[in-house]
Amino acid sequence: MTITQQSARPESASGEPTILHWIGGESTAAGSERTAPVTNPATGEVSGRVALARTQDVDAAVAAAAAAFPAWRDTSLARRAQVLFSFRELLNSRKHELAAIITAEHGKVLDDALGEVTRGQEVVEFACGMPHLLKGGFSEGASTKVDVHSMRQPLGPVAIISPFNFPAMVPMWFFPLAIAAGNTVVVKPSEKVPTATVWMAELWKEAGLPDGVFNVVNGDKEAVDALLDNPSIKAVSFVGSTPIAQYVYSRGTANGKRVQALGGAKNHMVVLPDADLDLAADAAVNAGFGSAGERCMAVSALVAVGDIADELVSKIADRTRSLRTGDGLRGCDMGPLVTAAHRDRVAGYIDAGEAAGATVVLDGRVNTSATDQFDAESTPEGPSGFFLGPTLFDHVTTEMPIYTDEIFGPVLSVLRVDAYDDAVQLVNDSPYGNGTAIFTNDGGAARRYQNEIQVGMVGINVPVPVPMAYYSFGGWKNSLFGDTHAHGTEGVHFFTRGKVVTTRWQDPSHGGLNLGFPQND
Protein backbone atom coordinates (compact mmCIF):
# COMPACT_ATOMS: atom_id res chain seq x y z
CA MET A 1 0.00 0.00 0.00
CA THR A 2 1.19 3.49 -0.77
CA ILE A 3 -0.02 6.38 1.28
CA THR A 4 0.43 9.16 -1.21
CA GLN A 5 -0.73 11.98 1.01
CA GLN A 6 1.01 13.52 3.96
CA SER A 7 -0.66 11.43 6.63
CA ALA A 8 2.33 9.15 7.05
CA ARG A 9 5.00 11.47 8.31
CA PRO A 10 8.74 11.35 8.79
CA GLU A 11 10.00 8.53 10.88
CA SER A 12 9.78 8.29 14.65
CA ALA A 13 12.84 7.60 16.74
CA SER A 14 12.12 3.89 16.40
CA GLY A 15 12.04 4.10 12.62
CA GLU A 16 8.32 3.85 11.78
CA PRO A 17 6.29 6.67 10.23
CA THR A 18 4.39 8.81 12.73
CA ILE A 19 0.72 9.54 12.16
CA LEU A 20 0.11 13.11 13.30
CA HIS A 21 -2.85 15.37 14.02
CA TRP A 22 -4.51 17.67 11.48
CA ILE A 23 -5.20 21.10 12.90
CA GLY A 24 -6.11 24.29 11.05
CA GLY A 25 -5.50 22.74 7.64
CA GLU A 26 -2.14 21.19 8.25
CA SER A 27 -0.48 18.11 9.59
CA THR A 28 1.12 18.75 12.97
CA ALA A 29 2.70 16.87 15.83
CA ALA A 30 1.45 19.65 18.13
CA GLY A 31 3.06 19.03 21.50
CA SER A 32 2.59 15.26 21.45
CA GLU A 33 5.34 13.33 23.12
CA ARG A 34 3.28 10.23 23.78
CA THR A 35 2.75 7.80 20.91
CA ALA A 36 1.17 4.37 20.48
CA PRO A 37 2.03 1.63 17.99
CA VAL A 38 -0.21 1.00 14.99
CA THR A 39 -0.03 -2.56 13.73
CA ASN A 40 -0.80 -4.39 10.52
CA PRO A 41 -3.02 -7.16 11.91
CA ALA A 42 -2.25 -9.50 9.01
CA THR A 43 1.48 -9.51 9.69
CA GLY A 44 1.68 -8.47 13.31
CA GLU A 45 4.22 -5.80 12.36
CA VAL A 46 4.23 -2.30 13.80
CA SER A 47 3.56 -0.16 10.72
CA GLY A 48 3.63 3.23 12.39
CA ARG A 49 3.26 5.18 15.58
CA VAL A 50 0.31 7.44 16.25
CA ALA A 51 0.71 10.68 18.17
CA LEU A 52 -1.47 10.78 21.29
CA ALA A 53 -2.81 14.26 21.91
CA ARG A 54 -2.50 15.99 25.25
CA THR A 55 -5.26 18.28 26.49
CA GLN A 56 -3.42 21.33 25.11
CA ASP A 57 -3.31 19.73 21.64
CA VAL A 58 -7.03 19.09 21.75
CA ASP A 59 -7.65 22.65 22.89
CA ALA A 60 -5.60 23.89 19.94
CA ALA A 61 -7.71 21.86 17.54
CA VAL A 62 -10.93 23.11 19.13
CA ALA A 63 -9.61 26.69 18.95
CA ALA A 64 -8.94 26.21 15.22
CA ALA A 65 -12.48 24.88 14.77
CA ALA A 66 -13.93 27.78 16.77
CA ALA A 67 -11.96 30.33 14.75
CA ALA A 68 -13.16 28.83 11.46
CA PHE A 69 -16.81 28.63 12.54
CA PRO A 70 -18.14 32.18 11.92
CA ALA A 71 -16.95 32.34 8.32
CA TRP A 72 -18.04 28.78 7.52
CA ARG A 73 -21.45 29.33 9.12
CA ASP A 74 -21.90 32.41 6.95
CA THR A 75 -20.70 30.71 3.78
CA SER A 76 -23.65 30.32 1.44
CA LEU A 77 -25.46 27.02 1.22
CA ALA A 78 -24.60 26.93 -2.46
CA ARG A 79 -20.87 27.21 -1.80
CA ARG A 80 -20.96 24.69 1.06
CA ALA A 81 -22.75 22.20 -1.17
CA GLN A 82 -20.14 22.72 -3.89
CA VAL A 83 -17.38 21.73 -1.46
CA LEU A 84 -19.37 18.62 -0.50
CA PHE A 85 -19.77 17.68 -4.15
CA SER A 86 -16.00 18.11 -4.71
CA PHE A 87 -15.22 15.94 -1.68
CA ARG A 88 -17.59 13.27 -3.00
CA GLU A 89 -15.89 13.28 -6.41
CA LEU A 90 -12.40 13.00 -4.90
CA LEU A 91 -13.49 10.25 -2.51
CA ASN A 92 -15.14 8.29 -5.28
CA SER A 93 -12.11 8.51 -7.54
CA ARG A 94 -9.68 7.49 -4.78
CA LYS A 95 -11.74 5.06 -2.74
CA HIS A 96 -9.45 2.11 -3.54
CA GLU A 97 -6.59 4.00 -1.89
CA LEU A 98 -8.66 4.55 1.25
CA ALA A 99 -9.80 0.91 1.28
CA ALA A 100 -6.17 -0.24 1.21
CA ILE A 101 -5.38 2.02 4.19
CA ILE A 102 -8.29 0.49 6.10
CA THR A 103 -7.21 -3.08 5.37
CA ALA A 104 -3.63 -2.34 6.38
CA GLU A 105 -4.62 -1.07 9.83
CA HIS A 106 -7.90 -2.86 10.59
CA GLY A 107 -7.34 -6.17 8.80
CA LYS A 108 -10.74 -6.53 7.10
CA VAL A 109 -10.59 -7.87 3.54
CA LEU A 110 -10.23 -5.33 0.77
CA ASP A 111 -13.75 -5.78 -0.69
CA ASP A 112 -15.24 -5.25 2.73
CA ALA A 113 -13.12 -2.11 3.20
CA LEU A 114 -14.33 -0.82 -0.14
CA GLY A 115 -17.91 -1.53 0.92
CA GLU A 116 -17.35 0.51 4.05
CA VAL A 117 -16.08 3.48 2.04
CA THR A 118 -19.06 3.22 -0.29
CA ARG A 119 -21.54 3.24 2.61
CA GLY A 120 -19.79 6.30 4.06
CA GLN A 121 -19.88 7.98 0.66
CA GLU A 122 -23.66 7.57 0.66
CA VAL A 123 -23.81 9.94 3.61
CA VAL A 124 -21.65 12.46 1.74
CA GLU A 125 -24.09 12.22 -1.14
CA PHE A 126 -27.04 12.75 1.22
CA ALA A 127 -25.27 15.78 2.71
CA CYS A 128 -24.87 17.28 -0.78
CA GLY A 129 -28.63 17.91 -0.53
CA MET A 130 -28.24 20.10 2.57
CA PRO A 131 -29.80 23.18 0.89
CA HIS A 132 -33.00 21.19 0.61
CA LEU A 133 -32.68 19.56 4.03
CA LEU A 134 -32.32 22.93 5.78
CA LYS A 135 -35.42 24.48 4.27
CA GLY A 136 -37.65 25.82 7.02
CA GLY A 137 -41.39 26.41 7.21
CA PHE A 138 -43.23 29.66 6.52
CA SER A 139 -46.71 30.71 7.60
CA GLU A 140 -47.96 33.83 5.91
CA GLY A 141 -50.50 35.76 7.97
CA ALA A 142 -50.21 33.66 11.12
CA SER A 143 -51.79 36.60 12.81
CA THR A 144 -52.98 39.79 11.23
CA LYS A 145 -50.04 41.15 9.26
CA VAL A 146 -47.78 38.73 11.12
CA ASP A 147 -45.72 36.04 9.39
CA VAL A 148 -43.84 33.19 11.08
CA HIS A 149 -40.92 31.21 9.70
CA SER A 150 -38.62 28.54 11.10
CA MET A 151 -34.97 27.93 10.35
CA ARG A 152 -32.23 25.62 11.51
CA GLN A 153 -28.77 26.92 12.34
CA PRO A 154 -25.44 25.18 12.98
CA LEU A 155 -24.22 24.62 16.53
CA GLY A 156 -20.53 25.55 16.33
CA PRO A 157 -17.52 23.24 16.77
CA VAL A 158 -18.62 19.62 17.23
CA ALA A 159 -16.63 16.51 18.16
CA ILE A 160 -16.78 13.07 16.55
CA ILE A 161 -15.21 10.16 18.43
CA SER A 162 -15.05 6.89 16.51
CA PRO A 163 -14.25 3.19 17.09
CA PHE A 164 -11.71 0.97 15.38
CA ASN A 165 -14.07 -1.19 13.40
CA PHE A 166 -15.12 1.27 10.68
CA PRO A 167 -12.19 3.68 10.28
CA ALA A 168 -13.86 5.58 7.40
CA MET A 169 -17.60 4.87 7.48
CA VAL A 170 -18.35 5.75 11.09
CA PRO A 171 -16.72 9.20 10.97
CA MET A 172 -18.58 9.70 7.68
CA TRP A 173 -21.90 8.97 9.40
CA PHE A 174 -21.45 12.38 11.01
CA PHE A 175 -18.96 14.82 9.51
CA PRO A 176 -20.54 15.31 6.05
CA LEU A 177 -23.80 16.44 7.67
CA ALA A 178 -22.09 18.48 10.37
CA ILE A 179 -19.97 20.33 7.81
CA ALA A 180 -22.70 20.80 5.22
CA ALA A 181 -24.94 22.26 7.93
CA GLY A 182 -22.27 24.89 8.72
CA ASN A 183 -20.55 23.42 11.79
CA THR A 184 -16.83 22.91 12.22
CA VAL A 185 -15.49 19.56 13.31
CA VAL A 186 -12.83 17.88 15.45
CA VAL A 187 -12.59 14.13 14.85
CA LYS A 188 -10.87 11.80 17.31
CA PRO A 189 -10.45 8.47 15.49
CA SER A 190 -9.59 5.20 17.18
CA GLU A 191 -5.89 5.11 17.94
CA LYS A 192 -5.80 1.61 16.44
CA VAL A 193 -6.73 2.86 12.95
CA PRO A 194 -5.79 6.55 12.72
CA THR A 195 -4.63 6.96 9.11
CA ALA A 196 -8.01 6.90 7.31
CA THR A 197 -9.29 10.04 9.05
CA VAL A 198 -6.10 12.02 8.49
CA TRP A 199 -6.21 10.92 4.84
CA MET A 200 -9.76 12.25 4.56
CA ALA A 201 -8.68 15.54 6.15
CA GLU A 202 -6.26 16.04 3.29
CA LEU A 203 -9.01 15.21 0.82
CA TRP A 204 -11.20 17.93 2.35
CA LYS A 205 -8.43 20.45 1.82
CA GLU A 206 -8.14 19.41 -1.80
CA ALA A 207 -11.93 19.74 -2.12
CA GLY A 208 -11.66 23.39 -1.10
CA LEU A 209 -12.84 23.23 2.52
CA PRO A 210 -11.42 26.22 4.41
CA ASP A 211 -8.71 25.46 6.95
CA GLY A 212 -9.98 24.80 10.46
CA VAL A 213 -13.38 23.45 9.43
CA PHE A 214 -12.19 19.82 9.65
CA ASN A 215 -9.60 18.92 12.28
CA VAL A 216 -8.28 15.60 13.54
CA VAL A 217 -6.75 14.87 16.91
CA ASN A 218 -5.31 11.44 17.42
CA GLY A 219 -5.29 10.09 20.92
CA ASP A 220 -6.83 8.05 23.66
CA LYS A 221 -8.84 8.75 26.82
CA GLU A 222 -6.99 12.00 27.51
CA ALA A 223 -8.07 13.40 24.13
CA VAL A 224 -11.67 12.21 24.60
CA ASP A 225 -11.91 13.79 28.04
CA ALA A 226 -10.45 17.05 26.75
CA LEU A 227 -13.12 17.17 24.04
CA LEU A 228 -15.88 16.40 26.56
CA ASP A 229 -14.67 19.15 28.87
CA ASN A 230 -13.91 21.88 26.34
CA PRO A 231 -16.72 24.48 26.55
CA SER A 232 -16.40 25.42 22.88
CA ILE A 233 -17.51 21.93 21.78
CA LYS A 234 -21.27 22.11 21.39
CA ALA A 235 -22.11 18.53 20.47
CA VAL A 236 -20.49 15.10 20.55
CA SER A 237 -21.17 12.14 18.27
CA PHE A 238 -19.63 9.02 19.77
CA VAL A 239 -19.53 5.42 18.56
CA GLY A 240 -17.88 2.62 20.54
CA SER A 241 -18.48 0.08 23.27
CA THR A 242 -21.41 0.44 25.67
CA PRO A 243 -19.45 1.31 28.85
CA ILE A 244 -17.54 4.09 27.08
CA ALA A 245 -20.68 5.30 25.29
CA GLN A 246 -22.43 5.64 28.64
CA TYR A 247 -19.44 7.44 30.11
CA VAL A 248 -19.19 9.86 27.17
CA TYR A 249 -22.93 10.56 27.34
CA SER A 250 -22.84 11.26 31.08
CA ARG A 251 -19.78 13.49 31.03
CA GLY A 252 -20.71 15.31 27.83
CA THR A 253 -24.28 16.08 28.89
CA ALA A 254 -23.13 17.06 32.39
CA ASN A 255 -21.01 19.66 30.62
CA GLY A 256 -24.07 20.95 28.80
CA LYS A 257 -23.37 19.39 25.41
CA ARG A 258 -25.72 17.67 23.04
CA VAL A 259 -24.54 14.02 22.87
CA GLN A 260 -25.44 11.00 20.77
CA ALA A 261 -23.45 7.97 21.94
CA LEU A 262 -23.88 4.73 20.02
CA GLY A 263 -22.77 1.67 21.97
CA GLY A 264 -22.23 -2.07 21.62
CA ALA A 265 -24.54 -4.80 20.46
CA LYS A 266 -25.63 -8.41 20.54
CA ASN A 267 -27.62 -8.93 17.37
CA HIS A 268 -30.05 -11.83 17.05
CA MET A 269 -31.08 -13.55 13.85
CA VAL A 270 -34.32 -15.45 14.36
CA VAL A 271 -35.00 -18.30 11.94
CA LEU A 272 -38.58 -19.57 11.81
CA PRO A 273 -39.36 -23.17 10.79
CA ASP A 274 -40.80 -22.13 7.41
CA ALA A 275 -37.67 -20.19 6.36
CA ASP A 276 -35.53 -21.14 3.36
CA LEU A 277 -32.72 -22.78 5.35
CA ASP A 278 -30.11 -22.43 2.61
CA LEU A 279 -30.76 -18.70 2.41
CA ALA A 280 -30.68 -18.46 6.19
CA ALA A 281 -27.42 -20.42 6.43
CA ASP A 282 -25.75 -18.18 3.82
CA ALA A 283 -26.96 -15.10 5.70
CA ALA A 284 -25.79 -16.41 9.08
CA VAL A 285 -22.28 -17.09 7.77
CA ASN A 286 -22.04 -13.73 6.00
CA ALA A 287 -23.37 -11.74 8.94
CA GLY A 288 -21.59 -13.78 11.62
CA PHE A 289 -18.12 -13.93 10.14
CA GLY A 290 -17.96 -10.92 7.77
CA SER A 291 -15.25 -8.53 8.95
CA ALA A 292 -14.29 -11.29 11.43
CA GLY A 293 -17.39 -10.44 13.45
CA GLU A 294 -16.02 -6.97 14.24
CA ARG A 295 -19.20 -5.18 13.17
CA CYS A 296 -21.74 -3.62 15.50
CA MET A 297 -24.38 -5.12 13.20
CA ALA A 298 -22.79 -8.59 13.08
CA VAL A 299 -25.10 -11.47 13.90
CA SER A 300 -23.65 -13.11 17.00
CA ALA A 301 -26.73 -15.01 18.26
CA LEU A 302 -28.81 -17.18 15.97
CA VAL A 303 -32.16 -18.22 17.42
CA ALA A 304 -33.47 -21.39 15.76
CA VAL A 305 -37.21 -21.85 16.27
CA GLY A 306 -38.79 -25.31 16.30
CA ASP A 307 -37.17 -28.44 14.90
CA ILE A 308 -34.93 -26.90 12.24
CA ALA A 309 -31.84 -26.43 14.43
CA ASP A 310 -29.93 -29.64 13.53
CA GLU A 311 -30.32 -29.09 9.79
CA LEU A 312 -29.55 -25.37 10.02
CA VAL A 313 -26.43 -25.86 12.15
CA SER A 314 -25.17 -28.48 9.72
CA LYS A 315 -25.69 -26.14 6.74
CA ILE A 316 -23.92 -23.27 8.55
CA ALA A 317 -21.01 -25.52 9.51
CA ASP A 318 -20.59 -26.78 5.92
CA ARG A 319 -20.44 -23.26 4.57
CA THR A 320 -18.14 -22.02 7.33
CA ARG A 321 -15.61 -24.78 6.62
CA SER A 322 -15.11 -23.32 3.15
CA LEU A 323 -14.15 -19.84 4.42
CA ARG A 324 -10.59 -18.76 3.72
CA THR A 325 -9.04 -16.77 6.56
CA GLY A 326 -5.94 -14.74 5.80
CA ASP A 327 -4.41 -11.43 4.79
CA GLY A 328 -7.21 -9.15 3.61
CA LEU A 329 -5.10 -7.95 0.70
CA ARG A 330 -4.92 -11.47 -0.73
CA GLY A 331 -8.50 -12.23 -1.67
CA CYS A 332 -9.50 -14.17 1.47
CA ASP A 333 -13.01 -14.25 2.94
CA MET A 334 -12.06 -13.22 6.47
CA GLY A 335 -9.13 -11.25 7.80
CA PRO A 336 -7.40 -11.20 11.19
CA LEU A 337 -8.65 -9.51 14.36
CA VAL A 338 -7.50 -5.97 14.99
CA THR A 339 -4.89 -6.61 17.69
CA ALA A 340 -3.21 -9.54 19.40
CA ALA A 341 -4.91 -8.56 22.66
CA HIS A 342 -8.35 -8.62 21.04
CA ARG A 343 -7.60 -11.97 19.35
CA ASP A 344 -6.65 -13.40 22.76
CA ARG A 345 -9.77 -11.95 24.39
CA VAL A 346 -12.01 -13.55 21.76
CA ALA A 347 -10.15 -16.87 22.14
CA GLY A 348 -10.75 -16.57 25.89
CA TYR A 349 -14.50 -16.41 25.22
CA ILE A 350 -14.27 -19.62 23.19
CA ASP A 351 -12.60 -21.26 26.19
CA ALA A 352 -15.41 -19.93 28.40
CA GLY A 353 -18.12 -21.18 26.06
CA GLU A 354 -16.64 -24.65 26.01
CA ALA A 355 -16.24 -24.65 29.80
CA ALA A 356 -19.87 -23.54 30.21
CA GLY A 357 -21.05 -26.59 28.27
CA ALA A 358 -21.91 -25.19 24.83
CA THR A 359 -21.25 -27.56 21.92
CA VAL A 360 -18.21 -26.48 19.91
CA VAL A 361 -19.20 -27.31 16.33
CA LEU A 362 -16.24 -25.46 14.74
CA ASP A 363 -13.30 -24.25 16.80
CA GLY A 364 -11.52 -21.14 15.57
CA ARG A 365 -8.70 -21.62 18.07
CA VAL A 366 -7.41 -24.56 16.09
CA ASN A 367 -8.17 -22.91 12.78
CA THR A 368 -10.27 -25.83 11.65
CA SER A 369 -11.30 -24.13 8.46
CA ALA A 370 -8.20 -22.27 7.55
CA THR A 371 -4.90 -23.79 8.58
CA ASP A 372 -3.38 -23.52 5.16
CA GLN A 373 -4.93 -20.19 4.28
CA PHE A 374 -2.97 -17.90 6.55
CA ASP A 375 -0.38 -15.45 5.41
CA ALA A 376 2.19 -17.26 3.30
CA GLU A 377 4.89 -15.54 5.31
CA SER A 378 3.80 -17.28 8.49
CA THR A 379 6.54 -18.57 10.69
CA PRO A 380 6.79 -22.34 11.19
CA GLU A 381 5.31 -21.81 14.67
CA GLY A 382 2.15 -20.36 13.16
CA PRO A 383 0.81 -17.26 11.49
CA SER A 384 2.41 -13.98 12.50
CA GLY A 385 -0.84 -11.99 12.22
CA PHE A 386 -3.71 -11.84 14.69
CA PHE A 387 -5.73 -14.65 13.16
CA LEU A 388 -8.52 -16.69 14.63
CA GLY A 389 -10.70 -19.02 12.57
CA PRO A 390 -14.50 -18.87 12.66
CA THR A 391 -16.14 -20.56 15.66
CA LEU A 392 -19.63 -22.04 15.73
CA PHE A 393 -21.30 -22.91 19.05
CA ASP A 394 -24.56 -24.84 19.39
CA HIS A 395 -26.82 -25.38 22.43
CA VAL A 396 -25.89 -21.97 23.84
CA THR A 397 -28.04 -20.72 26.71
CA THR A 398 -28.76 -17.20 27.84
CA GLU A 399 -26.66 -17.48 31.04
CA MET A 400 -23.40 -18.26 29.24
CA PRO A 401 -20.84 -15.44 28.88
CA ILE A 402 -20.59 -16.15 25.14
CA TYR A 403 -24.24 -15.04 25.01
CA THR A 404 -24.39 -12.30 27.62
CA ASP A 405 -21.26 -10.44 26.46
CA GLU A 406 -20.45 -8.71 23.20
CA ILE A 407 -17.50 -10.78 21.96
CA PHE A 408 -16.86 -8.75 18.78
CA GLY A 409 -15.14 -11.58 16.95
CA PRO A 410 -15.87 -14.49 14.58
CA VAL A 411 -17.97 -16.46 17.08
CA LEU A 412 -21.54 -17.43 16.21
CA SER A 413 -23.78 -18.90 18.94
CA VAL A 414 -26.90 -20.92 18.15
CA LEU A 415 -29.71 -20.88 20.72
CA ARG A 416 -32.70 -23.20 20.36
CA VAL A 417 -36.27 -22.24 21.28
CA ASP A 418 -39.60 -23.98 20.77
CA ALA A 419 -41.81 -21.22 19.42
CA TYR A 420 -41.95 -17.73 17.89
CA ASP A 421 -43.03 -16.14 21.19
CA ASP A 422 -39.99 -17.64 22.95
CA ALA A 423 -37.73 -16.07 20.32
CA VAL A 424 -39.31 -12.63 20.74
CA GLN A 425 -39.02 -12.88 24.52
CA LEU A 426 -35.35 -13.88 24.28
CA VAL A 427 -34.46 -10.99 21.97
CA ASN A 428 -36.45 -8.47 24.00
CA ASP A 429 -34.79 -9.62 27.23
CA SER A 430 -31.37 -8.63 25.84
CA PRO A 431 -30.01 -5.38 27.25
CA TYR A 432 -28.85 -4.48 23.73
CA GLY A 433 -31.13 -3.37 20.89
CA ASN A 434 -28.99 -2.45 17.92
CA GLY A 435 -30.00 -4.73 15.03
CA THR A 436 -31.96 -7.93 14.48
CA ALA A 437 -33.17 -10.05 11.59
CA ILE A 438 -35.94 -12.56 11.07
CA PHE A 439 -35.83 -15.21 8.36
CA THR A 440 -39.23 -16.52 7.32
CA ASN A 441 -41.56 -16.89 4.34
CA ASP A 442 -44.53 -15.91 6.48
CA GLY A 443 -45.35 -12.26 5.91
CA GLY A 444 -47.69 -12.17 8.88
CA ALA A 445 -45.01 -13.41 11.25
CA ALA A 446 -42.48 -10.92 9.86
CA ARG A 447 -44.97 -8.13 10.30
CA ARG A 448 -45.58 -9.12 13.92
CA TYR A 449 -41.85 -9.29 14.53
CA GLN A 450 -41.13 -5.79 13.21
CA ASN A 451 -43.88 -4.50 15.49
CA GLU A 452 -43.04 -6.43 18.66
CA ILE A 453 -39.27 -6.42 18.70
CA GLN A 454 -37.48 -3.83 20.85
CA VAL A 455 -34.58 -3.15 18.52
CA GLY A 456 -33.71 -0.07 16.47
CA MET A 457 -32.93 -1.70 13.11
CA VAL A 458 -34.80 -4.74 11.82
CA GLY A 459 -34.09 -6.92 8.79
CA ILE A 460 -36.69 -9.20 7.22
CA ASN A 461 -34.70 -11.83 5.33
CA VAL A 462 -31.88 -9.25 5.44
CA PRO A 463 -29.18 -10.19 7.96
CA VAL A 464 -27.35 -6.86 8.33
CA PRO A 465 -30.06 -4.19 8.08
CA VAL A 466 -27.89 -1.06 7.99
CA PRO A 467 -30.22 1.75 6.90
CA MET A 468 -29.51 3.84 3.83
CA ALA A 469 -28.01 7.28 4.44
CA TYR A 470 -31.38 9.02 4.08
CA TYR A 471 -32.78 6.96 6.97
CA SER A 472 -31.21 7.11 10.42
CA PHE A 473 -28.90 4.54 12.02
CA GLY A 474 -29.22 3.73 15.69
CA GLY A 475 -30.13 1.14 18.26
CA TRP A 476 -32.32 1.03 21.35
CA LYS A 477 -31.57 0.28 25.00
CA ASN A 478 -27.84 -0.08 25.82
CA SER A 479 -26.92 0.32 22.15
CA LEU A 480 -27.56 4.07 22.18
CA PHE A 481 -27.39 6.80 24.80
CA GLY A 482 -29.20 9.95 23.76
CA ASP A 483 -32.28 10.20 21.63
CA THR A 484 -30.96 11.03 18.19
CA HIS A 485 -29.78 8.45 15.69
CA ALA A 486 -27.01 8.97 13.14
CA HIS A 487 -27.49 10.45 9.64
CA GLY A 488 -30.80 10.81 7.82
CA THR A 489 -33.03 13.63 8.99
CA GLU A 490 -32.19 12.84 12.63
CA GLY A 491 -28.55 13.57 11.80
CA VAL A 492 -29.50 16.91 10.28
CA HIS A 493 -31.47 17.76 13.41
CA PHE A 494 -28.60 16.72 15.68
CA PHE A 495 -26.18 19.13 14.01
CA THR A 496 -28.61 22.08 13.90
CA ARG A 497 -30.80 24.05 16.29
CA GLY A 498 -34.25 25.29 15.46
CA LYS A 499 -35.25 28.92 15.59
CA VAL A 500 -38.65 30.44 14.92
CA VAL A 501 -38.99 34.04 13.79
CA THR A 502 -42.23 36.01 14.14
CA THR A 503 -42.34 39.09 11.94
CA ARG A 504 -44.56 42.13 11.69
CA TRP A 505 -43.71 44.88 9.26
CA GLN A 506 -45.29 48.12 10.05
CA ASP A 507 -47.41 49.74 7.45
CA PRO A 508 -49.02 53.17 7.57
CA SER A 509 -52.10 51.83 9.44
CA HIS A 510 -49.97 50.45 12.32
CA GLY A 511 -49.23 52.35 15.47
CA GLY A 512 -50.40 53.26 18.94
CA LEU A 513 -49.49 52.02 22.40
CA ASN A 514 -50.74 48.69 23.81
CA LEU A 515 -49.02 47.20 26.87
CA GLY A 516 -51.15 44.01 26.86
CA PHE A 517 -49.69 40.52 26.27
CA PRO A 518 -49.43 39.89 22.49
CA GLN A 519 -52.45 37.89 21.28
CA ASN A 520 -53.33 36.43 17.94
CA ASP A 521 -55.92 38.36 16.04
| Sole binder of ligand NAD in the list 25, 48, 176, 263 (CB under 6 A) | 263
Q: Does 249 bind ligand NAD (CB under 6 A)?
A: no
Residues 133/480, Cβ–Cβ less than 8 Å: no
| Sole binder of ligand NAD in the list 479, 482, 491, 492 (CB under 6 A) | 479
| Sole binder of ligand NAD in the list 16, 26, 211, 220 (CB under 6 A) | 220
For ligand NAD, the closer of residues 110 and 262 by Cβ is: 262
Q: Does 240 bind ligand NAD (CB under 6 A)?
A: yes
The dihedral through the CA atoms of 163, 167, 173, 174 has a sign that is positive
Near ligand NAD in 393-412, by CB under 6 A: 406, 408
Size, binding site for ligand NAD by CB under 6 A: 27
| Sole binder of ligand NAD in the list 64, 114, 133, 224 (CB under 6 A) | 224
Q: Does 196 bind ligand NAD (CB under 6 A)?
A: no
> Closest residue (Cβ) to ligand NAD?
240
For ligand NAD, the closer of residues 43 and 434 by Cβ is: 434
Among 235, 238, 230, 73, CA closest to 158: 235
Among 197, 69, 206, 118, CA closest to 495: 69
Q: Does 244 bind ligand NAD (CB under 6 A)?
A: yes
| Residue 34 Cβ vs ligand NAD, minimum distance, rounded to whole Å | 13
Q: Does 350 bind ligand NAD (CB under 6 A)?
A: no
Catalytic annotation present for 296: yes
CA distance 264 to 241: 5
Q: What are phi and psi of 343, to 5 degrees?
A: -55, -45
For ligand NAD, the closer of residues 59 and 394 by Cβ is: 59
Which region holds residue 460: left if phi is over 0, alpha if psi is between -120 and 50, else beta? beta
| Residue 473 Cβ vs ligand NAD, minimum distance, rounded to whole Å | 6
CA distance 315 to 362: 12
Question: Candidates 159-167, 199-207, 351-359, 439-447 — which segment interacts with ligand NAD by CB under 6 A?
Answer: 159-167
Q: Does 265 bind ligand NAD (CB under 6 A)?
A: yes
Pick the catalytic residue: 296, 302, 423, 455? 296
Near ligand NAD in 281-310, by CB under 6 A: 296
Q: Does 55 bind ligand NAD (CB under 6 A)?
A: no
Residues 496/134, Cβ–Cβ less than 8 Å: yes
CA distance 457 to 297: 9
Spatial neighbors of 264 by CB under 8 A, at least 6 apart, are 240, 241, 242, 245, 296, 406, 408, 432, 434, 478, 479
Residue 281 Cα to chain centre, angstroms: 26
Spatial neighbors of 91 by CB under 8 A, at least 6 apart, are 98, 117, 121, 124, 200, 203
351, 358, 403, 404, 447 from 398: Cα distances, Å: 17, 11, 6, 7, 26
Give the CA count within 13 Å in the CB-facing half-sphere of 389: 25
| Sole binder of ligand NAD in the list 35, 367, 373, 434 (CB under 6 A) | 434
For ligand NAD, the closer of residues 83 and 388 by Cβ is: 388
- Residues classed as catalytic: 296
Residues forming contacts to ligand NAD in the complex (CB under 6 A) are 161-166, 170, 188, 190-191, 220-221, 224, 239-241, 244, 262-265, 296, 406, 408, 434, 475, 479
